[in-house]
Structure 1
């Protein structure tokens, strides 16, 4: 066994020890297709996993849930995932230049990042050199 063969063997062993097994997954017979298995050709370990394939997110549309509560289902088994799925768009800025975002679906509002409209301060406006002033809210930054 040459030097590079030993290096390759050590790398393969390290890969398997960290859970990075080679081989292709195949569906487990008698179970939904999201249950898969493989045998690593490098270390001969039998590995199983669950790999769901989900459809698109859909709004729940129930009087008992928030308007933006959404779900998606695995196309092979009965498992579902849920989350609140807002569609926020910018609707202007507040008096401190924080972006106001509003959800198109449920109308919830939130404050986003601060975006100033900077202008250089001239010597005749203030006796401060190298500073900027926001045209919208008046904040001063050096």
Structure 2
């Protein structure tokens, strides 16, 4: 075996060693990434309905960590039963499994707009109020080279970049 053959063999051995280290480093990175993904409850797999369970019950087993995960998607078709009309508090029942969900069931409608153009919504049943999104009436204006939009109602001024 000559010098060049010996050098070629050593180069191949070094190449294989680097390949093994690279592969093991890549596997370690992938393994760590999967652990982080699962630790943050971002599991892989598809939810399916389990046999013998209500149609609103779904589960899956994460293929990366083996965790059994469940979720429900209840079906509420009937209107809620209001137990306290002064607060719109009541319940509704899942038609698939009979689960009873208690909550507030307001019927909000647009009632007013405040001085900052924020919509005020009021429940038509109990009078409870909440803030909606702002609704401005914009006027477009130019001042020199700058363009602005100014609300006709609350006079807020915003520069528009083109």
Match of 2:125 in 1: 105
Say whether 1:75 aligns with 2:95: yes
**Secondary structure, in 3 states, of the residue corresponding to 2:84?**
coil
RCO (CA 8 Å, sep 6+): is it higher in 1 or 2? Answer: 1
Give the greater-gyration-radius structure (CA). 2
Change in CA separation of 1:105 and 1:34 when aligned onto 2, cut-off 3 Å:
same
* Cα deviation code 1:36-89 (max 9, x no counterpart): 33222112x14031312232572425xx53163343332321112122222243
User: For residue 68 of structure 2, what is the aligned residue in structure 1?
Assistant: 47
Cα distance change on mapping 1:81 and 1:10 into 2, 3 Å: same
Work out whether residues 54 and 72 of structure 1, in 8 Å CA contact, stay in contact via their aligned partners in 2.
Answer: no
CA distance in 2, matches of 1:42, 1:111: 44
* TM-score, structure 2 as length reference: 0.48
In 1, distance between residues paired with 2:71 and 2:130? 39
Unaligned 5+ segments in structure 1 are: 94-98, 114-142
| Structure 1 residues 15 and 91, CA gap change in structure 2 (3 angstroms) | closer
Pair 1:23–1:109, CA change in 2 (3 A) = closer
**What runs of 5+ residues in structure 2 fail to find an aligned partner?**
1-22, 133-162
C-alpha separation between the residues in 1 aligned to 2:29 and 2:105? 48
TM-score, length of structure 1 as denominator length: 0.53
Higher helix content, 1 or 2? 2
Alpha carbons of structure 1 residues 36 and 102: separation in structure 2 relative to 1, 3 Å: closer
Distance in 1 separating the partners of 2:130 and 2:62:
50
Instruction: Count matched residues.
Output: 108
Instruction: Supply the distance in 2 between the matched residues of 1:19 and 1:105 (Cα, whole angstroms).
Output: 40
Say what the alpha-carbon RMSD is for the aligned residues. 3.6
